[in-house]
Amino acid sequence: MRYSRAFIPTLRETPSEAQAISHQLMLRAGLIRPLAAGVYSFLPLGWRVMQKVMRVIREEMDAIGGQEFHFPALNPVEIWQQTGRVDTMGDVLFHIKNREGLLLAPTHEEVVAFHARQHIKSYKDLPQIWYQIQPKFRNEPRPRFGVLRGRQFTMKDSYSLDATWEGLDISYEKHAHAYRRIFQRCGLRFFVVGASSGAMGGSLSQEFMVESPAGEDTCAVCSQCDYAANAEVARSAVDPTPRMPDSQPLERFPTPGVRSIDDLVHRFALPEERCAKALLYIADGRPVMVLLRGNDELNEVKLQAVLGAISLRPASPEELRNYTGASAGSIGPVDLPTPMLIVADERLRDANELVSGANSDGYHYRHIDLQRDCRIDLYADVRTVQMGEPCPECKAPLRIVRAIEVGHIFKLGTKYSEALGAMFLDEHGRECPIIMGSYGIGVERIIAAFIEQNHDERGICWIPTIAPFHVHLVALALERDEAVRQTADTLYEQLGQAGIEVLYDDRNESAGVKFNDADLLGLPLQLIVGPRTVGSGLVEVKERRSDRRHYVAPEQVVETVQRLLAQLSEAGCEIAS
């Protein structure tokens, strides 16, 4: 491609709306342009990257026996009602206004189950892996960070259909393997975490995460072993609260003005680990008290999972007063005026000699014994893991990092097949629901995550696998130096014939402009042809990432470029693994 004919609108300045580095660079390098909030056009350069990434995905999906489909984005509302997701997904679903009964699909479990119901009749038809790469529509309340969270985005979604749970395990493992290869080949440094299945339902799910400050997920990652988990499910080996040999008699004492555990600790010289913080939540309309140690933080996702609640929110100040008779800071598990479920964090299991609110403003109890003085309905891990806490596997300190979710794999089970009646006959002639898994990759997120991890102050640093072109041919002063023009034209021709994708900067621009654009676009190799080098019978090959430069005769360029691209491709895999 000749740059002079190409539509590559680079920006010298960073657009003010862009916060994340990847967003800034995708705009500046002319990969994308915004069209509306959370909606982006891919320009030719960006679309080339998309296609390269999709090619990798197709190759790996095909390698595990996946068959590519193309499902419509327009879906009948009916099938979504049958699985209940019109309600559970709520506002996230885009509904069509001027045509009753259609919506824009945010994912395709329903459609897959629908077609499976039509044609999968026997265990002999199974297993199947169906996939597609297609736009998805989600009415995100707040799109963010460019293509990292958009209202329309491209997803590779695949669905496994199996006759047995063992079969599901195999399909799931195949996907885990394919995903590892995909992200590796795309040059991502990633880790895999156990995750919450959320409203998708199902038994097991794992997320493929790329560590980045632009990430919207928080993960606990072990600094030594390979333990990693989404904060929604992460554990740590923190000390439990030891039970004292004797429980002193329960004692109510005045604590005027105390609003927090810190107040208690400082004004009454109490050890933090003996303070029990009580929180009041409303789960599906009913009050639940949560007891945590000291300044431990509640993890609402964990609590919701433990309770199996559809909705969960903190109680309002009025509710707090109505249910406990006190305001925040003075509530506790002892002497609750309203009977309610009490959930205590595992860390407080059977503890005694605790201090907690007395459900009366300005008063607390001390010497609380959870076995003697109140009824704990449930002990569960509901706390948020903090930076530096010991790993549950190896006790090394955990790091808490932000991460971008680039892939998510779910063992769904029979939720969707049962709802839509996708049944088959097993070898005993029994009718059984198809066992499903679903597996997603955010294609744009791969690109954004890659840029987050592979850039410097000058621009992007692509690897050959997903670079929009392989080589940036920079010809300097070609308008007035015929030797340069001829050398560059010839090299462009030869490289093209060798199957190497070249972006040929044949513009009549100054050297500085060309170099800066080349570094911004970040193609893996730059081939610099200028009067200086051509005069001495050489051309310069520059590796973008390392800035390493090689000077070779024009006849050796094709071979040199091929060798360096191969090296860089391998290096890309090493970076990733």
Partner RNA sequence: CGGGGCGUAGCGCAGCCUGGCAUAGCGCGCCUGGUUUGGGACCAGGAGGUCGUGGGUUCAAAUCCCACCGCCCCGACCA
Q: Which is nearer to RNA, 63 or 199 (CB)?
A: 199
Q: Which is nearer to RNA, 143 or 333 (CB)?
A: 143
Residues forming contacts to RNA in the complex (CB under 7 A) are 10-13, 15-17, 19, 34, 36-38, 89, 92, 106-107, 136, 138, 140-145, 149, 155, 157, 198-201, 216, 300, 313, 408, 410, 440, 442, 458, 476-477, 479-480, 508-513, 515-520, 528-534, 540, 542
Q: Which is nearer to RNA, 494 or 516 (CB)?
A: 516
91 secondary structure, DSSP code: G
Nearest distance, CB of residue 9 and RNA, angstroms: 8
Structure tokens at 314: 């903190």
Nearest distance, CB of residue 451 and RNA, angstroms: 16
Q: Which is nearer to RNA, 392 or 440 (CB)?
A: 440
Nearest distance, CB of residue 501 and RNA, angstroms: 21
> Residue 318 in contact with residue 358, Cβ under 8 Å?
no
| Coil/strand/helix, residue 436 | strand
Q: Where are the beta strands (DSSP E) in 201-268?
A: 204-211, 217-222, 228-230, 251-254
Q: Which is nearer to RNA, 374 or 406 (CB)?
A: 406
Nearest distance, CB of residue 89 and RNA, angstroms: 6
Nearest distance, CB of residue 360 and RNA, angstroms: 29
Residue with tokens 């201090």, as numbered in its chain: 355
Q: Which is nearer to RNA, 55 or 313 (CB)?
A: 313
DSSP line for 343-398: EEEGGGTT--SEEEE-SSTTEEEEEE-TTTTS---EEE--BPP-TTPBPTTT-PBE
- Alpha helix ranges (H) inside 160-260: 165-185
HEC profile of 486-539: HHHHHHHHHHHHCCCCEEEECCCCCHHHHHHHHHHHCCCEEEEECHHHHHCCCE
Nearest distance, CB of residue 371 and RNA, angstroms: 33
Q: Which is nearer to RNA, 197 or 352 (CB)?
A: 197
Structure tokens at 234: 């992460």
> Residue 475: enclosing H or E segment and its boundaries?
strand 471-475
Nearest distance, CB of residue 518 and RNA, angstroms: 7
Distance between the two ends of the chain, CA-based, in angstroms? 33
CB atoms within 10 A of CB 22: 29
DSSP line for 260-320: SHHHHHHHTT--GGGBEEEEEEEETTEEEEEEEETTPPB-HHHHHHHHT-S-EEEPPHHHH
Task: Give the Cα separation of 174 and 176 in Å (integer).
Answer: 5
Q: Which is nearer to RNA, 199 or 387 (CB)?
A: 199
CB atoms within 10 A of CB 100: 8
CB atoms within 10 A of CB 430: 10
Q: Which is nearer to RNA, 516 or 562 (CB)?
A: 516
Close Cβ partners of 89 (under 8 Å, ≥ 6 residues apart): 80, 106, 199
Structure tokens at 212: 């980045």
Nearest distance, CB of residue 513 and RNA, angstroms: 4
Q: Which is nearer to RNA, 66 or 357 (CB)?
A: 66
Nearest distance, CB of residue 122 and RNA, angstroms: 29
Nearest distance, CB of residue 199 and RNA, angstroms: 4
Close Cβ partners of 59 (under 8 Å, ≥ 6 residues apart): none
Nearest distance, CB of residue 34 and RNA, angstroms: 6
Q: Which is nearer to RNA, 10 or 247 (CB)?
A: 10
144 secondary structure, DSSP code: B
Q: Phi then psi for 539, rounded to 5 degrees?
A: -130, 160
